[in-house]
Amino acid sequence: MREDGETVKKEWTNSIVVRYMWSFLIILLSTLAAFVFVYHQAYDTAQKITYEKLSSQAENYLQSFNNELKHVRRLQNEFFTDRKLVFIIAPDMNINEYEKRDCLLSVRERIDGITGVSRLVSDGVLYLPKSGYRIRPASVHLMTQEDREQMNTYLTYADDEIHFDGKQFFIVKTGAPVIQSGSVPNHVFVLTVSREEVLRELSAVCTSPESGAFWFSEEDGVWAEYSRGEPAGEKLALQLHRNEQGEYENVQRLEADGNHYLVFAGGSGELGLFVQYELETAAMQPVLRFRNLAFIVLGCLTLLGIIISVSSIVALHKPINTLLSGFRRVQSGNWKEHIEDSRKDEFGHLYRGFNEMEDRMDRLINEVYVQTNLTQQAQMKQLQAQIAPHFLYNSFFVLSRRIKRQDYENAELLAKHLGNYFQYLTRNGADYVPLRLETDHAKSYSAVQDARFSRRIHVQFEDVPEAFGGIMLPRLVLQPLLENAFKYGLEEKVQDGLLRVSFVETDDEWQIRVEDNGENIPDEKLQEITDAITQGKKGEVTALANIHRRLQIYYHGQSGVRVQRSPLGGLAALIWIGKEAAVYEHEAADR
């Protein structure tokens, strides 16, 4: 059952229809691979364009924003050069009320001019703690206790820097390079940066749907954000990556609430880090539309492939399977059953030709089988006739000499071996026997020969391994190999002749090796013997050629005789049987 399943699997694997489907699948996969490549290239290009757009917007925005902020700070610094400011710093200044009022109004107008020069500045206030005035763009008042507390709060921040108190940004300027601990400066000038104006300018930067921008600092977090979609600045700010130098990477791809964003950290300014982001699906919308269209095309191709495959199965696979089923019936020996089909196409011609072939092959096989069977029987009789006469005479001469020497024990043993030998030789009940019986016969033969040549030849005969014993093979294939070794390999040996019979298992074969330490055979002679065996030539290797042919017939070409140079120095003749073709004793009963 297992072999049948493997055969069906091989046939299905090698089927033309399967190859056709594989070809279509390869084309489909190649198209898919090309689509994936183009899609990724387009995706990367779209990402690059988006980042370049964000970079350009950030560069323009930061340049404009920082220039305006620098201008405001320059005006704030220049404010302390106002000559009239000196007259209202301290209460003991020697000026009359009119002059004081004039100075106060002049300073107020100066502050109003500074706050009005830029949209970024929403307010400005000047504290004069010694003279007790608080001056704003639209008013001049004496400082209250609340004003002094507010001023003291501002004095806790570093001078000439931008700060954030959780609600707004402001710049504190005292006009003095160093403020001694516990001392009160002559004046404190505070400019407030408009959060609303910063957001308005951010809205001008966010030109794409689902885009946003925000200012971020590590101390204050995200303090100003504008988004045309769902705000994501707070979550994106927590994920911003830094490079090995500790600086924020310009180009980043981050995730927030299950959505991916293309993020560009535009650069740092006095207000913190400026960051722009855009929802990836919105930026990649043209590419995604292309992807969806490509998937539709691939789906149509797949459906078309299924339709073509089904139609090919109907048009090709079924009639081919019918033909293959007929061949399998022929392989199993059923030559009588024909393919019944009324098709008028090419397969109809094939079916009729197949049926005619079955009829002709059936007739030819019957004729060839009878002739082959008769020929094999004749070859067996001829081989027996070749073996028996000369061996019989020599064996009885050895037995006679032992009896004359009154060596009755060895004479009895020799007579027993002769009896076993001739009993096996003359038994015609079976043409094929297990290896253990063939080996027993060869052992009897080698024992008789050992008795004849014991002074100059020694025989080593290994026991048959259990795995070898049940292998079937034609009768009288092993003993002729021994006879050939005695006759040709060891004939010239005066002493120390060695004949060894061994059994070897390889990955693919069972081997029965008969080797001697006779004359070293040149490569040319070895090749000549090999050719004579495989081509069935007559001569010294006639017996080997006959055995090779019988094994080839029994095992359908997957067994035979092979010769090679022996490690002992002479010739090694071996019977090899392919493991896949090997027939065992219990299987032979069913054949």
pLDDT tens per residue across span 554-579: 888 889 999 999 898 888 999 999 98
Question: Which residues lie below 8 Å from residue 526, measured CB to CB, with a gap of 6+?
Answer: 563, 564, 565, 571
Residues 434 and 536 sit within 8 Å (Cβ to Cβ)? no
Element spanning 289, H or E: helix 285-312
Residues 124 and 116 sit within 8 Å (Cβ to Cβ)? no
> Residue 121: what are its φ and ψ, rounded to 5°?
-95, 120
Sequence-ordered strand ranges (E) for 228-362: 251-256, 259-269, 272-279
CA distance 487 to 445: 13
Which of the residue ranges 55-64, 201-210, 290-299 would you say has the lowest mean pLDDT?
A: 290-299
Structure tokens at 13: 């694997």
Residues 160 and 173 sit within 8 Å (Cβ to Cβ)? yes
Q: Which amino acid is at 348?
A: G
Angle between helix 16-79 and 195-205 (nearest 10): 150
Which of the residue ranges 41-50, 104-113, 514-523 would you say has the lowest mean pLDDT?
A: 41-50
Residues 127 and 186 sit within 8 Å (Cβ to Cβ)? no
Percent of the chain with pLDDT over 70: 83
Class in CATH terms, 412-588: alpha beta
- Strand 272-279 to 259-269 pairing: antiparallel
Domain ranges, ordered by start, for the chain = 2-36+287-331, 80-193, 412-588
374 pLDDT exceeds 50? no
pLDDT at residue 198, as a whole number: 81
List beta partners, residue 217: 221
228 pLDDT exceeds 70? yes
Most distant CA pair in the chain, distance: 171
CA neighbor of 279 nearest in space, from 229, 335, 348, 320: 229
Element spanning 128, H or E: strand 121-128
CA distance 194 to 120: 5
| Whether pTM exceeds 0.75 | no
CA distance 104 to 95: 12
Q: Is 566 exposed, middle or buried (0-12, 13-18, 19+ CB in 10 A)?
A: buried
- Scored b (16 or more CB within 10 A) or e, 575-586 reads bbbeeeebbebe
Mean residue pLDDT of the chain comes to 79
What would the mean pLDDT of 26-41 be, rounded to a whole number?
A: 77
We find that the CATH architecture of domain 80-193 is 2-Layer Sandwich (3.30)
pLDDT at residue 539, as a whole number: 59
What would the mean pLDDT of 546-550 be, rounded to a whole number?
A: 84
CA distance 424 to 420: 6
- The strand order across the sheet containing 251-256 reads 221-227, 211-217, 272-279, 259-269, 251-256
CA distance 585 to 435: 9
**pLDDT by residue (tens digit) across 49-100?**
777 777 787 788 888 888 888 888 888 888 888 888 888 887 776 778 888 8
pLDDT at residue 504, as a whole number: 92
CA distance 163 to 405: 132
CA neighbor of 226 nearest in space, from 248, 250, 198, 249: 198
- Scored b (16 or more CB within 10 A) or e, 215-224 reads bbbeebbbbb
Q: Decide if 80-193 and 412-588 have a common fold.
A: no
Question: Which residues lie below 8 Å from residue 137, measured CB to CB, with a gap of 6+?
Answer: 108, 111, 112, 115, 116, 123, 124
Question: Which residues lie below 8 Å from residue 199, measured CB to CB, with a gap of 6+?
Answer: 224, 225, 226
CA distance 571 to 564: 6
